[in-house]
């Protein structure tokens, strides 16, 4: 528009003028989301929310919690509208990682567990932190879902008038497509072939008003034209909607497929197979065809399910120990320490040396012998051994000694105990591990004195505190718990 015209209209309408880009709802309208600069407000906000300085006052469990919360709150608006470039994803992960690891007594920032591992689900040994790239894709995919579903909206009409309803049809040449549209399409194509999104979307037949008989997937898992290529080539119904391939006779639906010519005998065999498949379909007079999200029971799209679908390919097996660990009855930070111990990623001297930290000794702080295993402190150590035997004397059970921490934890069950009771014992296990670790740090950093009794009593106290505050009907005093633990939890069946 000419400047003079613009001035004229602005004057007539009595309004001001502005240019792009401008800020609207803290979002830069007209900016280029493929540039890092566009994302700077998000990065700055994340940096201030997840500053290392703040992290120092939180336990690791608290930091994990904050990372999850901040990610799902702060950049949501941006991430649900635009595809974040790789460099931005990397920066966000960098901020999260520094916040999680960049603090503490060692003043180093060793990432003890790779970010990929942390993003795994809890059952696979991770912490279930969302991977920013996949999260971004899942959020963006919501637009595609809204685009192809029955929802109405001005935004949709606009896009439809330019690109049509058939996605991927290449109606508009690449150079005329907007960057947003290109990003949007590329997200749904992720994973090769038709893309992850298409694989998850299926049709639910109504009156047959939208589904194309041969070309859409609506019965079984593949298109009819792929199942019966020969018949497809003979069909006069190519490109037809289901409602055009049959008709109502009173309340009965009859299929009326039309063919280019009479079929040979061997083709009639295929025809009857096709007939079998479609005869099982119930066509409904008064309902529209609808798209459904296949992995959801109610067929509706949710971002968290889309996120799960995106991660399907690199999902690993569930690990027994972690299936129980996160259900164990104890404090979050206690669980988190055990999680690191079970993964063998805890900064004992031997572990630190193996990670290239120069130390003059790998002597165990508690028993003063050389650590042969990274997990020495928790099983092999003389101090740990006597704490564990105090525990078994306390509950009056004999226990086989295991040399592997994970096996020790997994088999830490009382055969006569109920599921709930065993989860309480698993909680106590984690508490003992946590107390051993605390004692070790006390000795290393605060000139503490090694005291097995103290470690064990602390574990008793801490587990009692948990029960007291988290179990409604737990009315036992600490001395009840210390003298008769089996009685105290006998009501948890
Ligand atoms: Zn030791």
- Domain shared by 423 and 339, yes or no: yes
388 C-alpha vs ligand 1 centroid, how far in Å?
A: 13
Neighbouring residues of 487: CB distance < 8 A, sequence distance ≥ 6: 476, 480
The whole-chain average pLDDT of the chain stands at: 86
What distance in angstroms lies between residue 440's CA and the mean position of ligand 1's atoms? 9
Record the tokens describing residue 34, joined without a space: 């493929």
CA of 376 to the centre of ligand 1 (A): 6
Both tokens of 353, joined, read 């040396």
CA distances from 427 to 298, 333, 347, 480 (A): 37, 12, 22, 18
User: Does the residue 352 lie in any domain?
Assistant: yes
Token pair in block for residue 280: 């099982």
Q: What is the rounded average pLDDT of the residues 348-365?
A: 83
Does 478 fall in a domain?
yes
For the residues 235-240, what does the mean pLDDT come to?
A: 91
Tell me, what's the pLDDT at 473?
81
CA distance 381 to 372: 10
Residues 166 and 308 in one domain: yes
The per-residue pLDDT for 103 is 57
Residue 60 sits in which domain range? 32-130
365 C-alpha to center of ligand 1: Å?
6
Q: Of the ranges 99-103, 160-164, 233-237, which one carries the lowest mean pLDDT score?
A: 99-103
Instruction: Taking residues 468-473, report their average pLDDT.
Output: 86
Which pLDDT score, from 0 to 100, does residue 480 have?
94
Average confidence (pLDDT) over 344-349: 87
**Within 235-317, where are the H helices?**
265-279, 303-311
Residue-by-residue DSSP string for 363-413: B-TTT-SBPSSTTGGGTTSHHHHHHHHHHHHHHT------SSHHHHHHT--
Pairing mode of beta strands 246-249, 252-255: antiparallel
| Secondary structure of 193-248 in HEC code, one letter for each residue | CCCHHHHHEEEECCCCCCCECCCCCCCCCCCHHHHCHHHHHHECCCCCEHHHHEEE
243 with 172, same domain: the answer is no
Average pLDDT rounded to a whole number, residues 312-334: 89
pLDDT of the residue at 309: 84
402 Cα–ligand 1 center, Å:
16
Q: How far is the CA of 394 from the centre of ligand 1 (A)?
A: 22
The verdict on 36 and 6 lying in the same domain is no
Assess if residue 473 is contained within a domain.
yes
Residues near 153 by beta carbon (within 8 Å), at least 6 away in sequence: 146
Spatial distance between the Cα atoms of 432 and 386, rounded to a whole number of angstroms: 12
Query: Which of 130, 147, 165 is where one domain is finished?
Result: 130
> Which residue did the predictor score with more confidence, 248 or 195?
248
CA–centroid distance, residue 435 to ligand 1 (Å): 14
Half-sphere exposure of residue 269, counting CA atoms within 13 Å on the CB side?
Answer: 2
Domain-located, residue 229: yes
Segment 197-215, tens digit of pLDDT: 888 888 888 888 888 999 8
Structure tokens at 150: 């029955």
Q: Compute CA 249 distance to the chain's CA centroid, rounded to the nearest angstrom.
A: 50
Q: 430: CA distance to ligand 1 center in Å?
A: 18
As given in the structure block, the two tokens for residue 354 are 């193996």
Least confident piece of the model among 103-117, 169-183, 213-227: 103-117
Q: Are 237 and 381 part of one and the same domain? A: no
Length of the chain: 493
Distance 377 CA to ligand 1 centre (A): 5
Q: Is residue 345 a part of any domain in this protein? A: yes
Q: Does 428 share its domain with 467?
A: yes
- Ligand 1 centroid to Cα of residue 384, in Å, is 7
Neighbours of ion ligand 1 (CB under 5 A): 364, 366-367, 381
Domain boundary among 130, 148, 170: 130
Cα–Cα dist 444/422, whole Å = 33
Cα 382 to middle of ligand 1, angstroms: 6
Max mean pLDDT range (120-129, 286-295, 468-477):
120-129
Phi, then psi, of 202 in degrees rounded to 5: -135, 170
Same domain, 227 and 281: yes
Compute the half-sphere exposure of residue 213: CA atoms within 13 Å on the CB side of its CA: 24
Greatest C-alpha distance within the chain: 95
In terms of domains, do 155 and 219 share one?
no
Average pLDDT over residues 441-470: 93
Condensed to tens digits (0 to 9), the pLDDT of residues 105-149 reads 444 567 788 899 999 999 999 999 999 999 999 999 888 888 887
- Residue 375 Cα to ligand 1 middle (Å): 10
Distance from residue 363's CA to the centre of ligand 1 (Å)? 8
Whole-number pLDDT of residue 135: 92
What is the average pLDDT across 319-324?
Answer: 90
What mean pLDDT is predicted for residues 5-11? 88
pLDDT at 491 over 90: no
Q: How far is the CA of 387 from the centre of ligand 1 (A)?
A: 12
Q: Are residues 238 and 164 in the same domain?
A: no
CA 224 vs CA 95, 212, 218, 243, 259: distances in Å: 49, 10, 9, 16, 15
Residue 493 domain-assigned (yes or no): no
Query: What is the tally of structural domains in the chain?
Result: 5
Of 95, 130, 165, the residue at which a domain comes to its end is: 130
Q: How far apart are CA 82 and CA 94, in angstroms?
A: 20
Three-class secondary structure of residue 23 per DSSP: strand
Considering the domain architecture, whether residues 464 and 367 belong to the same structural domain is answered as yes
* CA 333–ligand 1 middle distance (angstroms): 23
């Amino acid at each position: 528009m000419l400047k003079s015209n613009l001035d004229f209209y602005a004057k007539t309408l009595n309004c001001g003028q502005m240019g792009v880009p401008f800020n609207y709802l803290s979002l830069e309208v007209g900016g280029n989301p493929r540039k890092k600069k566009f994302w700077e407000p998000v990065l700055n906000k994340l940096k201030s929310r997840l500053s290392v300085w703040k992290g120092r006052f939180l336990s690791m469990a608290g930091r994990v919690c904050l990372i999850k919360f901040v990610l799902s709150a702060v950049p949501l608006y941006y991430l649900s509208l635009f595809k974040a470039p790789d460099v931005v994803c990397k920066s966000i992960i960098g901020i999260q990682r520094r916040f999680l690891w960049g603090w503490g007594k060692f003043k180093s920032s060793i990432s003890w567990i790779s970010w990929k591992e942390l993003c795994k689900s809890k059952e696979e040994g991770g912490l279930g932190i969302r991977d920013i790239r996949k999260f971004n894709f899942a959020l963006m995919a919501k637009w595609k879902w809204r685009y192809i579903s029955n929802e109405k909206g001005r935004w949709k009409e606009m896009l439809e008038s330019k690109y049509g309803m058939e996605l991927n049809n290449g109606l508009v040449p690449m150079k005329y497509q907007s960057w947003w549209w290109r990003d949007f399409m590329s997200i749904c194509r992720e994973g090769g072939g038709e893309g992850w999104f298409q694989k998850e979307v299926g049709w639910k037949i109504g009156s047959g008003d939208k589904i194309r008989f041969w070309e859409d997937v609506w019965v079984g898992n593949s298109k009819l034209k792929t199942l019966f290529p020969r018949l497809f080539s003979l069909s006069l119904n190519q490109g037809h909607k289901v409602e055009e391939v049959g008709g109502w006779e009173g309340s009965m639906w009859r299929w009326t497929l039309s063919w280019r010519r009479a079929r040979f005998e061997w083709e009639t065999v295929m025809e009857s197979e096709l007939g079998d498949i479609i005869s099982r379909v119930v066509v409904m007079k008064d309902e529209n065809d609808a798209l459904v999200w296949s992995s959801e029971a109610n067929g509706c799209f949710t971002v968290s399910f889309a996120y799960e679908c995106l991660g399907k390919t690199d999902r690993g097996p569930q690990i027994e120990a972690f299936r129980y660990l996160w259900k164990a009855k104890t404090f979050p930070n206690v669980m988190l320490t055990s999680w690191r111990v079970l993964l063998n990623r805890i900064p004992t001297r031997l572990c630190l040396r193996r990670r290239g930290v120069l130390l003059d000794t790998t002597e165990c702080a508690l028993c003063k012998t050389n650590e042969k295993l990274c997990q020495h402190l928790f099983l092999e150590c003389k101090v740990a051994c006597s704490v564990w035997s105090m525990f078994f004397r306390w509950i009056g059970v004999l226990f086989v000694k295991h040399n592997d921490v994970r096996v020790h934890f997994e088999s830490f069950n009382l055969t006569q105990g109920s599921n709930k009771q065993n989860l309480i014992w698993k909680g106590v296990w984690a508490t003992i591990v946590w107390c051993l670790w605390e004692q070790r740090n006390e000795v290393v950093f605060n000139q503490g004195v090694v005291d097995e009794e103290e470690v064990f009593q602390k574990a008793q106290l801490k587990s009692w505190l948990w029960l007291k505050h988290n179990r409604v009907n737990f009315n036992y005093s600490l001395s009840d718990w210390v003298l008769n633990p089996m009685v105290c939890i006998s009501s948890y069946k």
